[in-house]
């Protein structure tokens, strides 16, 4: 591996399959674009030490990923769940999965998509059924205060239907989902870190959402053949109301999103400045862009009424296209040129830089934020001058994390490695100091890494302890389980100079992004408050069957090991709404409620209320029963639903 970049000349080191995948991926991924990557690497890269850490190496400073029974993890990880449309919560460094928070897709454990309350959050059609049942989550980020996570909210995207979900981190539940208007392929997501105008607002109030696919606007059957008229929008969602505040019409596309620590700038990397509709077209230009948004100016333009709307949407859309924003003094946007089809834009924890990974270029581009602000103020002649480094790091760079000690960690998809490089040394190298060794270390991964994140990485409290990498292929790392391989999440100790690979974890695809933060930043509640639920049945004596014509409400409570009614009767054809409050107050005392043949199963946590609505279309006796082991008499915890013919 030490020669680094030129795979075809590597001796066969027993990693034949990996090399095969590399060349196949290179051919498939990049076509002509990879030509640039097969050049000899910069000396700084070639000179990097290849002494990779391994699982057998001693962990630094006694770090261990193995916890003794009963020991708790020191970090939370919030993981995008991928196709399952949920958020996975892990404990780190053990890598144990603690829970999953359903968002976009029905979930059989909690009854998400079964209960009325969850259906209302997920979004319904006119007939009450779910609007969507598939999702593709990629990115997850949490709310900030003073540059660090404040434990209020996390957000996660659904790329398929351009939805953003909010998770309350006090109860670990999804409480709101918003569908963005007039966009497709909503991908990158990042909350702001403070207000750009009011310094008293030192916490997240906006979430920025980048849409990847360009479409005719409005997309209602017109302009289908006029690809040069397709556009996409960058959206700002209000963190509290979850309403879309405003959108920006742009050229090219959005991919990932980053925000500055002063709240003034948001950015997205663009791989399709060509506005191409075919894969080849999207790779025709040598350079693409990192597109910056001047948040204060955009909001001033919205206030001044300088916007349009599209289709049925009332959301104000300001003009952020290149042609309308050439004058720096009034520009809402700034298109910084970066090499071919970049992927990932990440904010360094010192607040100074955004780093764009090259993907089809073996480089990372470092953009100094103060210089971008200078350009907006008319103090920097050319926007390109905001680029303070553009250095080779390896093949297929995708995402970057930080250790808070000035180092960046970038995944190299094609090289199947992660490279540790020093940002200030890279800036020196770029400025002409060819002795500046910016590559500090390189570590082989198994295999083809995409996302990477370090503990507390994109906060002012980046602590440089752990790095996790989401590898897209696991191949031979786990017992074979048929054609669908798990993916491989690898945990790396980055507390020392050298990276040390500590653990492999199989995960069901396709998790993408995640964040890792200190456990003391979260204070989850473990019992609900009855008053959180307007329809709560606060006393078992309120139980009963209330009829209003053909509509029937069944009010029920649970207290281990019994439901408040041992039986209840409805009539065939009734529309039944069953409300169940769990009156148990004991932590961890969850009950379930299932009705055979009626497709009902959900759980109620301590002091929680949920409801389901169904048509009693089958007469007979149906034993509704508790599905969550709660008591020695759990099996006896039943209620007889009688449906009279
Ligand atoms: S993207 S592997 Cu959907 Cu997060 Cu970069
Ligand atoms: Cu209640 Cu099992
Ligand atoms: Ca391109």
Determine if ligand 1 sits within 6 Å of the CB of residue 399. Answer: yes
- In the reported structure, the alpha carbon of residue 338 is separated from the centroid of ligand 3 by a whole-number distance in angstroms of 10
Determine if ligand 1 sits within 6 Å of the CB of residue 512. Answer: yes
Residue with tokens 């006393």: 539
First to last CA, the chain: 75
Residue 631 lies in a domain: yes
Ligand 1 pocket, mutate which of 80, 189, 451 (most atoms under 8 A from CB): 451
Determine if ligand 1 sits within 6 Å of the CB of residue 343. Answer: yes
List residues bridging with 246 in a β-sheet: 236
Residue 80 lies in a domain: no
Ligand nearest to the CA of 472: 1
Domain containing 538 — which CATH number? 2.60.40.420
List residues bridging with 613 in a β-sheet: 577
* Residue ranges making up the domain that contains 301: 180-342
Q: What is the pTM of this model?
A: 0.91
Q: Is 159 helix (H, G, I), strand (E, B) or coil?
A: coil
CB neighbourhood size of 631 (10 A): 16
Query: What distance in Å separates the CA atoms of residue 328 and residue 333, rounded to the nearest whole number?
Result: 9
Q: For position 494, what pLDDT does the model report?
A: 98
Token pair recorded at residue 618:
């089958």
Please tell me the residue having the least CA distance from ligand 2 atom 1.
591
Residue 47 lies in a domain: no
- Backbone phi, then psi, for 644, in 5-degree steps? -75, 140
Asked whether the beta carbons of 378 and 328 are under 8 A apart, the reply is yes
- In the reported structure, the alpha carbon of residue 281 is separated from the centroid of ligand 3 by a whole-number distance in angstroms of 8
Determine if ligand 1 sits within 6 Å of the CB of residue 449. Answer: no
**Given the CA of residue 634, which atom of ligand 2 is nearest to it?**
2
Asked whether the beta carbons of 269 and 256 are under 8 A apart, the reply is yes
Q: Residue 4 — left, alpha, or beta (φ > 0 → left; ψ -120 to 50 → alpha)?
A: left
Q: For position 509, what pLDDT does the model report?
A: 86
Which segments of the chain have a pLDDT < 70?
A: 1-59, 61-62
- In the reported structure, the alpha carbon of residue 450 is separated from the centroid of ligand 1 by a whole-number distance in angstroms of 6
Picking from 308, 342, 376, the residue at the C-terminal end of a domain is 342
Q: For position 3, what pLDDT does the model report?
A: 37
pLDDT digits (tens, 9 = 90+) for 177-219: 999 999 999 999 999 999 999 999 999 999 999 999 999 999 9
Query: What distance in Å separates the CA atoms of residue 275 and residue 278, rounded to the nearest whole number?
Result: 9
Q: For position 60, what pLDDT does the model report?
A: 73
All residues at 6 or more sequence positions from 141 whose CB lies less than 8 Å from its CB, including other chains: 154, 155, 189, 190, 191, 207, 458, 515
Q: Is 353 exposed, middle or buried (0-12, 13-18, 19+ CB in 10 A)?
A: buried
Query: What distance in Å separates the CA atoms of residue 468 and residue 489, rounded to the nearest whole number?
Result: 7
Query: What distance in Å separates the CA atoms of residue 76 and residue 60, rounded to the nearest whole number?
Result: 21
Determine if ligand 1 sits within 6 Å of the CB of residue 188. Answer: no
Residue 141 lies in a domain: no
Q: For position 61, what pLDDT does the model report?
A: 67
Residue 542 lies in a domain: yes
Residue 616 lies in a domain: yes
**Given the CA of residue 451, which atom of ligand 1 is nearest to it?**
2
Transcribe 413-430 into DSSP letters: TTTTEEEEEEHHHHHHHH
Asked whether the beta carbons of 635 and 623 are under 8 A apart, the reply is no
All residues at 6 or more sequence positions from 578 whose CB lies less than 8 Å from its CB, including other chains: 553, 554, 556, 593, 600, 611, 612, 613, 614
Q: Is 190 helix (H, G, I), strand (E, B) or coil?
A: strand
Transcribe 570-602 into DSSP letters: EETT-EEEEEEEE---STT--EEEEETTTTEEE
Q: What is the CA radius of gyration of the chain?
A: 27
Picking from 310, 325, 342, the residue at the C-terminal end of a domain is 342
Ligand nearest to the CA of 639: 2
Residue 126 lies in a domain: no
Asked whether the beta carbons of 165 and 174 are under 8 A apart, the reply is yes
Ligand 2 pocket (Cβ < 6 Å) reads 560, 591, 626, 628-630, 634, 637
* Structural domains counted in the chain: 2
C-alpha separations of 225 from 150, 182, 216, 408, 577 in Å? 47, 18, 9, 43, 49
Picking from 298, 321, 342, the residue at the C-terminal end of a domain is 342
Q: For position 28, what pLDDT does the model report?
A: 43
Residue 624 lies in a domain: yes
- In the reported structure, the alpha carbon of residue 608 is separated from the centroid of ligand 2 by a whole-number distance in angstroms of 14
């Amino acid at each position: 591996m030490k020669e680094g970049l030129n795979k075809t000349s590597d001796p066969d080191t027993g990693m034949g399959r990996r090399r095969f995948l590399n060349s196949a991926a290179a051919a498939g991924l990049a076509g002509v674009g990879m030509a640039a990557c097969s050049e000899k690497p910069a000396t700084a890269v070639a000179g990097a030490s290849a002494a990779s850490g391994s699982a057998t190496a001693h962990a630094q400073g006694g770090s261990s990923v193995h916890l003794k029974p009963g020991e708790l993890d020191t970090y939370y990880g919030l993981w995008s769940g991928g196709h399952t449309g949920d958020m996975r919560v892990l404990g780190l460094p053990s890598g144990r999965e603690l829970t999953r928070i359903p968002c976009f897709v029905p979930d059989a454990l909690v009854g998400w998509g079964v209960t009325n309350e969850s259906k209302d959050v997920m979004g319904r059609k006119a007939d009450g059924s779910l609007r969507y049942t598939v999702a593709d989550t990629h990115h997850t980020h949490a709310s900030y205060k003073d540059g660090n996570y404040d434990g209020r909210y996390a957000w996660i995207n659904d790329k398929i239907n351009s939805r953003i979900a909010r998770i309350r981190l006090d109860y670990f539940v999804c409480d709101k989902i918003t569908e963005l208007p007039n966009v497709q392929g909503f991908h990158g997501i990042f909350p702001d870190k403070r207000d750009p105008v009011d310094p008293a607002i030192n916490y997240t109030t906006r979430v920025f959402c980048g849409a990847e696919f360009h479409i005719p606007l409005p997309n209602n059957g017109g302009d289908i053949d006029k690809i040069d008229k397709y556009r996409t929008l960058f959206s700002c969602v209000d963190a509290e109301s979850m309403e879309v505040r405003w959108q920006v019409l742009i050229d090219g596309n959005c991919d990932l999103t980053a925000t500055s620590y002063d709240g003034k700038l948001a950015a997205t990397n663009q791989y399709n400045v060509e506005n191409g509709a075919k894969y080849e077209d999207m790779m025709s230009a040598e350079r693409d862009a990192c597109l910056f948004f001047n948040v204060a100016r955009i909001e001033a333009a919205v206030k001044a009424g300088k916007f349009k709307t599209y289709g049925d949407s009332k959301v104000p859309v300001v003009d952020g296209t290149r042609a309308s924003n050439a004058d720096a003094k009034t520009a809402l946007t700034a298109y910084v040129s970066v090499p071919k089809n970049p992927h990932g834009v990440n904010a360094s924890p010192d607040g100074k830089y955004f780093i764009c990974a090259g993907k089809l270029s073996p480089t990372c581009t470092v953009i100094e934020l103060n210089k971008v602000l200078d350009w907006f103020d008319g103090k920097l002649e050319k926007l390109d001058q905001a680029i303070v480094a553009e250095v080779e790091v390896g093949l297929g760079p995708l995402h970057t994390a930080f250790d808070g000690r000035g180092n960046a960690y970038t995944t190299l998809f094609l090289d199947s490695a992660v490279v540790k490089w020093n940002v200030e040394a890279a800036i020196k190298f770029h400025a002409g100091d060819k002795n500046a060794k910016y590559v500090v270390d390189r570590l082989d991964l198994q295999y083809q890494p995409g996302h990477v994140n370090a503990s507390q990485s994109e906060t002012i409290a980046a602590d440089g302890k752990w790095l996790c990498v989401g590898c897209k292929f696991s191949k031979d790392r786990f017992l074979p389980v048929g054609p669908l391989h798990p993916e491989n999440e690898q945990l790396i100790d980055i507390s020392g100079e050298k990276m040390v690979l500590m653990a492999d974890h199989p995960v069901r695809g396709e998790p993408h992004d995640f964040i890792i933060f200190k456990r003391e930043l979260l204070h989850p509640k473990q019992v609900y408050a009855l008053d959180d639920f307007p329809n709560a049945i606060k006393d078992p004596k309120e139980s009963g069957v209330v009829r209003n014509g053909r509509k029937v409400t069944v009010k029920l409570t649970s207290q281990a090991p019994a439901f408040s009614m041992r039986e209840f009767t409805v009539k065939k054809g009734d529309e039944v709404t069953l409300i169940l409050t769990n009156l148990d107050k004991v932590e961890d005392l969850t009950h379930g409620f299932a009705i055979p043949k009626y497709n009902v199963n959900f759980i109620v946590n301590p002091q929680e209320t949920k409801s389901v609505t169904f048509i009693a279309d089958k007469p007979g006796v149906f034993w509704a029963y508790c599905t969550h082991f709660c008591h020695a008499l759990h099996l006896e915890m039943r209620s007889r639903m009688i449906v009279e013919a």
